[in-house]
Amino acid sequence: MSSYKLSVLSSLIFFAAVAISCNHSEKKSDKIEIRVEQLLEKMTLDDKIGQMTQVDPGFAGGDEQLKKSVRDGRYGSILNLWGVEKVNEMQKIAIEESRLGIPLLIGRDVIHGYRTIFPIPLGMAASWNPEIVKKAFRISAIECSSQGIKWTFAPMIDITWDPRWGRIAEGCGEDPYLASTLSKAMVEGIQGDNLTDPTAVAACAKHFAGYGFSEGGRDYNTTYISEPVLRNVVLKPFKAAKDAGALTFMSGFNDLNGVPATGNEFTLRQILRKEWGFQGMVVSDWSSISEMISHGFCANEKEAAYKALTAGVDMEMSSFTYAGNLKTLLKEGKIDQKLVDDAVRNILRVKFKLGLFENPYVNPEAQKQVLNPEFLDHARTVARESAVLLKNKNKTLPLSPKIHSVAVIGPLADSPRDQLGTWVFDGKAENSVTPLTALKELLGADKVNYIKGLQYSRDKNKSEFAKTVALAKQSDAIVYFGGEEWILSGEGQCRGEINMPGAQDELIEALASTGKPLVVVIMAGRPLAIGNLLAKADAVLYGWHGGSMAGPALADLIFGKESPSGKLPVTFVKGSGQIPFYYYHNNTGRPASAKNWTPMDSIPVVNPQTSLGYKSFQLDYGFTPLLPFGFGLSYTTFNYSDLKLSAMSMSTTGSIEIKANVANSGDMDADEIVQLYIRDRVGSITRPVKELKGYKRVTIKQGKNVEIIFRLEAKDLEFFNGKANVIEPGEFDVWIGPNSAEGLHGEFTIH
């Protein structure tokens, strides 16, 4: 048979398979819709309101009352119930003892691991590696589903420009493109390849929308976001989650431009339902419906229930405004029955898609997978790839495993709970391997000289400083582990200043004065203002809160088993006064540059008014951040060269290829994260000075050269201009480089 005929036959087989697959998917979807409608017809109004109510067992009036309420169909979901026996018992009551036998949807916060804890999501974002992130969330789903949890309130994909905000730890940083790629990976990992698989868990994209823009970095606070910023930045990772098949969304605590997110018809109905076609379920955040009263948006719980349901919230988490008021609202004609029925349809659809009606129970054998050695090994990999090398003067790192002695110092060197990070309910400190433990195992206990120096990260007691410095002087090198305790980041853990807490800066300065090689490892839930220690330390490694296996991962890097390869997913500022600072800011009419700004200390005492240049900068901080987005060093050296574009222009429906060579000129194999940025020079609204449009993590062997190719589609340059999504003709800049501040430059046009 000719190659042409083979090709045609292969194509026919492929398209037939696609058609069969699509037809099967459509039939399955149709079958679910039929089942939803059949069940809905049997339901009373009480049954429907019960499905729309989620309860925490602690607020259900005790175990017996909870069982009775489930038996009576008063709850459709329970959060914070886990364990094989408890979940199976409650499901048995729902299935076998309630009138309609509707299974419960069991939910819990599993944000970056269940028992095997991975780095905080901000840390995982620093890996720029969707594949390992997807696997981490798959492991989390396998572990939590073994305890009956079938719905997790993750991923948290709020973009933020403010490191003071405690919940920056839970998100993916500042960039919409990077966050979107990771959002997709997280959803796919949580839900798996088959929603009816026992290990599949429903994902919940949160918080919709704008929560990360809370004023002053204060949690639960007001947000003001223009529609272009909302659509071009904030909503991007949520759209990626929806496109990845996320079964549920969660509304936020914040008010958005004066309308609380939980009562916001524009975001929940206009954008999520109408524009994006989302058919899943929307749940409120904890009591966020009743909290609209505190916002001043609703006078009472009855009005809160009305506004939340009208906006598009299907299920109420923890509070009872729906249970207490929907009947009255219907009776008074203030809401239509269709609103209630549509909400229940969305809830039942999720339960049917998860296969809960066919398989509501947990197999006790499944829990044997918890803390599987392979899971822990992956946690080590993720922690290793998440760490970012920020400084390495005179190649201080890696240290030699043949070193005679190392001073291991700091409040986080042996703090197993702190390294797990925020928003960990089920991970246990006893399963953490700390840096001290890992270094003793690697080097031998006799080579490790350990002292805390400070008892915890906020400690200001300097009584141990003299003893600490003396121990450091007796050692060949110093490795200091500091940063923040876990409780200093996360929900409600916002800070006004983001410097190193306690007396850590003073201790680091004392250690630097010894003249010994000083390595500082930061374990934290946010980017800290670390300018002082960057100046003092010989090497700085940012390890975030790295999870269960943070210790071995950091030991691997400190002693050169692998090179650090992470890159910053967020800009590091010089201090709180520089916030907000994000790399894709718009230009001003008077942009600052290295040539036209005036440092405060250089101003003469007697000085004319007009001598400072009148440009956009701060006298003390200047106009650049401490460290740019995308920054990260390696133990080797990567050289970028030979940028080429396949064409100098493309149409509004076209594409071009952008290529560059990246060479590893150092003496070890290592990964590099190659980044693609563009700038739209002129637009119908002002455009950012740079935007990330692609990245690739590549392993390059020492002495080798790799050609990196990006395909840039014209549709990748689309943006919302306040009226519509547009691709505008004009001139563009393009860069391929190692971070947002450096790179090879080219130009092209769209016509």
Q: What does DSSP assign to residue 266? A: I
Please say if the pLDDT value at position 675 is more than 80. Answer: yes
Last residue of a domain, one of 54, 78, 106: 106
**What percent of the chain is helix, strand and coil (3-state, nearest 5)?**
40, 20, 40
pLDDT tens-digit readout, 443-466: 999 999 999 999 999 999 999 999
Sign (positive/negative) of CA torsion 331, 336, 338, 343?
Answer: negative
Whether residue 645 is contained in a domain is answered as yes
The average pLDDT across 545-555 equals 98
> Would you say 148 and 106 are in contact if contact means Cβ atoms under 8 Å apart?
yes
Residue 609: Cβ within 10 Å count: 6
CA 92, 108, 371: angle at the middle one, nearest 5?
Answer: 95
Domain interval for residue 79: 44-106
Please say if the pLDDT value at position 5 is more than 50. Answer: no
pLDDT tens-digit readout, 601-649: 888 887 777 667 789 999 899 999 999 999 999 999 999 999 999 999 9
pLDDT at residue 140, rounded to an integer: 98
Residue 380: closest CA among 437, 443, 433:
433
The backbone region for 730, taken as left when phi is positive above 0, alpha when psi lies in -120 to 50, beta otherwise, is: left
pLDDT tens-digit readout, 60-98: 999 999 999 999 999 999 999 989 999 999 999 999 999
Whether residue 334 is contained in a domain is answered as no
Locate 368 and state its tokens: 């044997």
**CA–CA distance, 331 with 322 (Å, rounded to integer):** 14
CA 375, 380, 385: angle at the middle one, nearest 5?
Answer: 125
Q: What does DSSP assign to residue 70? A: H
Separation in Å, CA 553 to CA 186, 392, 411, 435: 22, 18, 18, 8
pLDDT at residue 2, rounded to an integer: 44
Residue 313: closest CA among 400, 248, 374, 254:
248
Q: In the chain, what percentage of residues exceed pLDDT 90?
A: 93
Locate 632 and state its tokens: 């990260």
Length of the chain counted residue by residue: 751
Query: 14-23 long-range contacts, Cβ below 8 Å, gap at least 24?
Result: none
> Would you say 483 and 372 are in contact if contact means Cβ atoms under 8 Å apart?
no
pLDDT at residue 620, rounded to an integer: 92
Could you tell me the CATH number of the domain that includes residue 684? 2.60.40.10
Confidence of residue 23 (pLDDT cuts 50, 70, 90): low
Residue 285 appears among annotated catalytic residues: yes
Whether residue 10 is contained in a domain is answered as no
Q: Which helix (H) or strand (E) holds 251?
A: strand 248-251
Sign (positive/negative) of CA torsion 734, 737, 741, 744?
Answer: negative
Q: Which helix (H) or strand (E) holds 739?
A: strand 730-739
Phi, psi of 700, deg, nearest 5:
-125, 120
Alpha helices in 119-221 (DSSP H): 121-125, 130-145, 176-191
pLDDT at residue 596, rounded to an integer: 87
pLDDT tens-digit readout, 316-348: 999 999 999 999 999 999 999 999 999 999 999
Please say if the pLDDT value at position 490 is more than 60. Answer: yes
Last residue of a domain, one of 87, 106, 125: 106
Residue 510: closest CA among 466, 458, 459, 456:
466
Please say if the pLDDT value at position 11 is more than 70. Answer: no
* Alpha-carbon dihedral angle through residues 676, 682, 688, 694, given to the nearest 10 degrees: -20
Whether residue 620 is contained in a domain is answered as no
Confidence of residue 10 (pLDDT cuts 50, 70, 90): very low
Alpha helices in 288-403 (DSSP H): 292-295, 301-311, 321-331, 337-353, 373-386
> Would you say 409 and 468 are in contact if contact means Cβ atoms under 8 Å apart?
yes
Alpha helices in 547-621 (DSSP H): 550-558
> Would you say 427 and 114 are in contact if contact means Cβ atoms under 8 Å apart?
yes
**CA–CA distance, 49 with 281 (Å, rounded to integer):** 15
Please say if the pLDDT value at position 499 is more than 60. Answer: yes
β partners of residue 591: 616
> Would you say 511 and 409 are in contact if contact means Cβ atoms under 8 Å apart?
yes
Residue 572: closest CA among 542, 539, 601, 593:
542
Residue 346: closest CA among 129, 61, 36:
36
- Scanning the structure block, which residue is given the tokens 């935007």? 691
Whether residue 716 is contained in a domain is answered as yes
pLDDT at residue 611, rounded to an integer: 62
Of 109, 162, 219, 285, the active-site residue reads 285
pLDDT tens-digit readout, 403-435: 999 999 999 999 999 999 999 999 999 999 999
Residue 620: closest CA among 559, 484, 696, 529:
529
The backbone region for 400, taken as left when phi is positive above 0, alpha when psi lies in -120 to 50, beta otherwise, is: beta
Residue 84: Cβ within 10 Å count: 17
Whether residue 59 is contained in a domain is answered as yes
Whether residue 521 is contained in a domain is answered as no
pLDDT at residue 610, rounded to an integer: 64
HSE on the CB side for 130, CA within 13 Å? 15
**CA–CA distance, 252 with 289 (Å, rounded to integer):** 10
Last residue of a domain, one of 55, 86, 106: 106
Number of domains present in the structure of the chain: 2
Whether residue 721 is contained in a domain is answered as yes
Mean pLDDT of the chain: 95
